[in-house]
Amino acid sequence: MDFWLPKIESGEPDYVDKLAMKIRTEQGIGLAAFAAVFNQELTEVLMVQLGDYAKKHYGGNPWTLPGGGVEKGERPSVAVKREIKEECHFEVQESLQLAGWFARPYYQSRYAKNKGEIVLVFTCRSKSPAATATPSPPEIIAARFQPFCVHEWLNVPSQGTSEHSLQPLPKHWVYWADAARLALRENHMTQWSYATAADMAKRPDPIKPI
């Protein structure tokens, strides 16, 4: 089995959690989990704006999907709900499904023994009012549901600041949110391995049914 891109037979959290945790333990690599939480109409997605600690890398405070590193022994689907609650004071009541399995063999996580990281992107449709999302400064300085338009978001610069409310917006967050919306619409999952950090700005293919 290629542990970076294993055969995934189900997008259910229990199956995904066990598979990812097994690979992490056996390979000594990093594991992270993020979530694209959409409204019922799939027109808005929950985004967070990182604090000043991230400014030096992007020339501004970047917007991302909520989530982060998975602690050892913690289930990824549980970890991402915990991160959302910590970052946004927003509680996800709905069941999650896997939208994307992304491998970063080049990445060295400070929490892992060996080089490499697997990033899981979960998704769901939320019934909770969008207004209940609030940030947790100084780590998170803004948290809100943003109107999602792939073409518009891809035109937002990944670095610096301007009049656009979502700048800077690294491209991989756009692609991951788009993959998540497709997963909710058509029950598809995106699986991809990035060779370098620069590849994160490229659209991942292919999209596979699960």
CATH of the domain at 131: 3.90.79.10
Does residue 204 form part of some domain? no
Residue in this structure with the two tokens 């891109």, named with its chain if needed: 5
Classify the C-alpha dihedral 104-176-180-166 as positive or negative. Answer: positive
pLDDT (0 to 100) of residue 112: 75
Does residue 6 form part of some domain? no
pLDDT (0 to 100) of residue 161: 86
Does residue 131 form part of some domain? yes
Q: Are strands 188-193 and 207-209 parallel, antiparallel or unpaired?
A: antiparallel
Distance CA 172, CA 158 (A): 10
Count how many domains the chain has: 1
Does residue 208 form part of some domain? no
Does residue 7 form part of some domain? no
pLDDT (0 to 100) of residue 6: 95
- In terms of residue numbers, what domain contains 185? 13-199
Distance CA 76, CA 82 (A): 10
pTM: 0.95
pLDDT (0 to 100) of residue 92: 94
Query: Tens digit of pLDDT per residue, the chain (210 long)?
Result: 589 999 999 999 999 999 999 999 999 999 999 999 999 999 999 999 999 999 999 999 999 999 999 998 999 999 999 999 999 999 999 999 999 999 999 998 877 788 999 999 999 999 887 778 999 999 999 999 999 999 999 999 999 988 788 999 999 999 999 999 999 999 889 999 999 999 999 998 755 555
Residue 84 CA: distances (Å) to CA of 42, 146, 161, 195: 18, 15, 25, 28
Does residue 209 form part of some domain? no
Contacts of 41 (CB under 8 A, 6+ apart): none
Does residue 2 form part of some domain? no
pLDDT (0 to 100) of residue 1: 53
How big is the chain by its Cα radius of gyration, in Å?
16
Does residue 65 form part of some domain? yes
